Amino acid sequence: MKVAILQFPGTNCEYDTVYAFKKLGAQTQIIWHKETALPTDIDLVVVAGGFSYGDYLRSGAIAKFSPIMKAVKEYANSGGKVLGICNGFQVLTEAGLLPGALKRNESLHFISRHHNLKVINNDNIFLEKLTLNDVVNIPIAHHDGNYFIDPVGLKDLYANNQVLLKYTDENGNESNPNGSIDSIAGICNKEKNVFGLMPHPERAMELILGSDDGVKMLEGFLSA
């Protein structure tokens, strides 16, 4: 499996993402945002976390204009797999590849800690290695992780099984750290080839670091 990982000015999770996918046996390549094309033989594009362009203006709002994003849109629209993690999720919503938007956390504070997530839908390649209602422990680290979508859009998300993950406690009861509507932590597009989540599975690859629940989350892509 070959994974292309995007790098913008301010990205800071690209090397964590490289480590995570190499640990799973994948080949990785970091793609600078000024490139105009993706490698032709890749199986997955990851828009990594961080603070693209310093989150000036609005998180992900400048990154969506980077040259590489035109290629990412073309890749996604042709059925290619795309994963946006944290700031990458923000970039994908700003680019129109995922519905909704990410706002400032309800508390107005940056949050950095492990948090539990419950699997809401696993009928997709991203979470197929997990079981419905599984609870995993994954780090979060964001200031603008408050997911919002209007009532019509929210209804569509549920109708199409696009809500993938929710914030919960260790027992699977909703526990919302940032004000996201319906405690939503991750979604996909209708075609189920573009995925976005605020938590960081690439930081949950080893028990010594607090959790290895990210392994099963990312392993699904290996069967693409």
For 80-95, what is each residue's pLDDT tens digit? 999 999 999 999 999 9
Q: Is the pLDDT of residue 149 over 70?
A: yes
pLDDT band at 156 (very low <50, low <70, confident <90, very high): very high
Q: Establish whether 13 is a catalytic residue.
A: no
Catalytic residue among 13, 86, 115, 142: 86
Q: What is the pLDDT of residue 204?
A: 97
Catalytic residue among 115, 142, 143, 202: 202
Decide: 88 and 49 in contact? Cβ < 8 Å: yes
Task: Give the domain 2-223 fold.
Answer: Rossmann fold (3.40.50)
Catalytic residue among 115, 142, 143, 200: 200
For 170-207, what is each residue's pLDDT tens digit? 999 999 999 999 999 999 999 999 999 999 999 999 99
For 38-51, what is each residue's pLDDT tens digit? 999 999 999 999 99
Cβ neighbours for 71, distance < 8 A, ≥ 6 positions apart:
35, 36, 37, 38
Longest dimension (CA), the chain: 45
Q: Establish whether 202 is a catalytic residue.
A: yes
Q: What is the pLDDT of residue 166?
A: 98
For 100-140, what is each residue's pLDDT tens digit? 999 999 999 999 999 999 999 999 999 999 999 999 999 99
Residue 170's Cβ-count burial label (10 Å; 0-12, 13-18, 19+) is exposed
Segment 69-89 shows an average pLDDT of 97
Q: Establish whether 14 is a catalytic residue.
A: no
